[in-house]
Amino acid sequence: MKRVLCATYEGIEAKVVQVESTLTKGLPSFSVVGMASASINEAKERVKSALLSNEFIFPPKRITINLAPSDLKKEGSQFDLSIALLIALDALVDDLSEWFVFGELGLDGAIKENLQLYALLLSLSNQKIIKKAVVPYESLEKLSNIPNVDFYGVKTLDEAIALLKNSANAQPNAVYKRIDYPNISVDDTEYYFVQNYPEDFLDVKGQEVAKRAALISAAGFHNLLLEGSPGCGKSMIAQRLRYILPPLSGDEILEIAKLDVLEAVEPQFVPLRSFRSPHHSSTTASIFGGGSHKAKIGEVGLAHRGILFFDELPHFSKVVLEALREPLQDNKIRISRVNSKVEYPSDFLFVCAMNPCPCGNLLHAHKECRCSELDIVRYKNRLSDPFLDRIDLCVVMQHVAPSDTSSISSQQMHAKVLEVHRMVKERGQKSFTAKLSDAEIEKFCVLNAEAKAVLDMAVDKFALSFRSIKKIQKVARTIADLRGGDIIEKSDILEALSYRRR
């Protein structure tokens, strides 16, 4: 019996599959066992054609291919090359069990690229269970972004056979590419960013309070709610927020590229955080992920490490808004189905925008609101207090005036965010300030006597919940970072309280 290694998906993570083969005496047959999908069963015809097209005599034996573990459902065309090599090398090579082999076969023996390979191999690399792999030559450009793995690119089945026949002398032909972007280095870890602002905060006239809140949100990854009349700039600010977010580590860049692949998008390996903006008519499954047979990732999972933007917030269904409370609190989403149970990371910055009333004119200086008091109450009541309690910064946008001017550019705001990021990492924070645990809040969010007195007074006056108290401390910590302070002062707490939902 011969064996090579391959992999398939279990949720969004890769699971190692042992591809085993036996060629025994008996009536000629070719079977694949081990919960193989239709795409793998179809591989039998591709393998036969590829072998025969390359002057290989298909063995007149009983060929059995087993995919282990047998209780894991396997799918994908990446098993083609593994199966073909086991048949071709049955009597020629003794041990192949240390090799991972991936590739889809053409009928003429050409080895084709599969977009899903990148996510599979990155997952295996993160789990530290892969050292070397045979892959399609076309995939080397993308795969060279994955560190600590030797990749051997092959263009045809003949090349793959020759490689494994002489595996002791084989040399990898993919060199790890270092990330070539501006970066800041803290404790031997590099954090990369892009100095390009296609949508600039210079385009936003006035709205100084909202821009200040956006800066705080970006620096500490604090959830942000913008409320105001139509056309006042809510969506403009949300779209520009993406370009001033904190830098990304090398592992995080690869993680975002993996999510691109899962969405069938060509990965770019650019240190730019994702921006997901589902429409309010989107289904619950499309936002959170799901599916009857295979749980697929949704917008919440795809927004990991980036921004999830809900425009026209009250128009989203009550089910969606209440279900969003869990990923906002736990930074992960669990999908349970009869056939599968999957957990996705969902550590994102939640930004949302809403009008003050159904017609949008309640706060307008010149237009008259057409809504009844009951309409406004119903509109506001679509957002529950437990949901709003998970939003750190709530801003009422100002009316747009002809005299409003630009005040700060995205480049200036990004420079402040980068400086805060350096401070945060240098003092030992592993996560963003908004994501600090209770123990970390006690350690990093230190208040002076005046600040503590103001916070205690606010707790009594506004009947703040435990979550609200911690939220105000974390916002105040980011405000203190923006002014370069080590200790949270009275002015920081007062500003943090000013962003409290009223």
- Helix 490-498, helix 449-462: angle, nearest 10: 30
Say yes or no: 213 and 318 in one domain. Answer: yes
What is the per-residue pLDDT for 97?
Answer: 80
> Is residue 34, in this structure, part of any structural domain at all?
yes
Indicate whether 239 and 95 sit together in one domain: no
**Which residue matches tokens 């706060």?**
363
Question: Are residues 467 and 327 part of one domain?
Answer: no
CA distance 67 to 52: 23
Nearest to 447 by CA among 470, 425, 468: 470
- Is the distance from CB of 88 to CB of 161 less than 8 angstroms? yes
57 and 91 fall within a common domain? yes
Q: Spell 12-24 as b/e; 16+ CB within 10 A means b.
A: bbbbbbebbbebe
Smallest CA-to-CA distance from 17 within 45, 36, 42, 31 is with 36
Residue 220 amino acid letter = G
Range of the domain at 451: 436-502
In 3D space, the residue among 199, 235, 233, 240 whose CA is nearest the CA of residue 218 turns out to be 240
Residue 347 has a CB neighbour count (10 Å cut-off) of 17
**What CATH number is associated with residue 370?**
3.40.50.300
3-state DSSP helix/strand/coil % of the chain, to nearest 5: 40, 20, 40
- Has residue 426 been placed in a domain? no
CA-angle at 469, arms to 463 and 470, nearest 5°: 160
Domain of residue 444, CATH code: 1.10.8.60
Q: What is the pLDDT of residue 53?
A: 87
417 touches 245 (CB < 8 A): yes
Do 217 and 119 lie in one domain? The reply is no
What is the predicted pLDDT for the residue at 91? 62
CA-CA distance, 383 to 125, in Å (whole number)? 42
Give the tokens for residue 70: 């047998």
Q: Which of 367, 389, 418 is the last residue of a domain?
A: 418
What's the DSSP call for residue 188?
A: T
- Per-residue b or e along 59-76, where b marks 16 or more CB atoms closer than 10 Å to that residue's CB: eebebbbbbbeeeebbbb
| 47 and 159 share one domain | yes
Tens of pLDDT, residue by residue, the chain (502 residues): 788 999 998 877 899 999 999 988 888 889 999 988 888 888 889 999 998 888 887 788 899 999 999 888 888 899 999 999 988 887 667 677 889 999 999 999 999 988 788 889 989 988 889 999 999 999 998 888 888 899 999 999 999 989 988 887 888 887 777 788 999 999 889 999 999 999 999 999 989 999 999 999 999 999 999 999 998 899 999 999 999 999 999 999 999 988 888 887 888 889 999 999 999 999 998 999 876 666 678 999 999 999 999 999 999 999 999 999 999 999 998 887 766 778 889 999 999 999 999 999 988 888 899 999 999 999 999 999 999 999 999 999 988 888 888 889 999 999 999 999 999 999 999 999 999 999 999 999 999 999 999 999 999 999 898 999 999 999 999 999 999 999 999 999 999 999 998 7
What is the count of structural domains for the chain? Answer: 3
**Identity of residue 330:** D
- Does 280 reside within a domain? yes
290 and 398 share a domain?
yes
List 296's β-bridge partners, or say none: 290
H or E segment to which residue 396 belongs = strand 393-396
- Residue 11 sits in the same domain as residue 83: yes
Q: What's the one-letter identity of residue 338?
A: V
How many whole angstroms from its chain centre is CA 398? 33
Token couple for 408? 């700060």
Contacts of 40 (CB under 8 A, 6+ apart): 32, 67, 74, 75, 76, 77, 79
Q: What are phi and psi of 353, to 5 degrees?
A: -135, 145
Task: Please give the pLDDT value at position 223.
Answer: 97
Spell out where 34-85 has E strands: 62-68
Residues 255, 402, single domain; the answer is yes
- In single-letter form, the type of residue at position 327 comes to P
What is the structure's pLDDT at 293? 63
DSSP string, 235-303: HHHHHHHGGGSPPEEHHHHHHHHHHHHHTT------S---EE---TT--HHHHH-B-SSS-B--HHHHT
Tokens of 162: 């020759």
In this structure, how many other beta carbons lie within 10 angstroms of the beta carbon of residue 499?
Answer: 23
Stretch (H or E) spanning 308? strand 307-310
162 C-beta neighbours (distance < 10 Å), count: 13
Which token pair is 392? 């750190």
pTM (2 d.p.): 0.89
- 348 and 453, same domain (yes or no): no
Q: What is the pLDDT of residue 116?
A: 81
End-of-domain residue from the set 367, 383, 418: 418
